[in-house]
Amino acid sequence: MRRSFVQSVLSSQKQRQRYYYFKNITAGLCGIATFVGLGGVFGIALGVAATVLAYFTVAPIVAFLICLFEQMAS
């Protein structure tokens, strides 16, 4: 059975841990940036929404690219 490119990049436990670490950090930073940009109660609500949205859209891509570049550098 052939492994996909993503599976080959995230093949080790350390790489998967690094992937989830950067995914969570990226999503959190998106939420914080939204809150800082807007402020107040409205900023908190949109910050939480931005965190959830980023967790499923932007954060996986950023985290995978970081893991890919790290693997290419080593």
pLDDT score, position 1: 54
pLDDT score, position 11: 86
Rounded to two decimals, the pTM is 0.85
Model confidence pLDDT, tens digit, residues 14-73: 999 999 999 999 999 999 999 999 988 999 999 999 999 999 999 999 999 999 999 888
Kindly give the interhelix angle for 13-38 and 40-56, rounded to the nearest 10 degrees.
150
Domain range summary for the chain, segments of one domain joined by +? 10-73
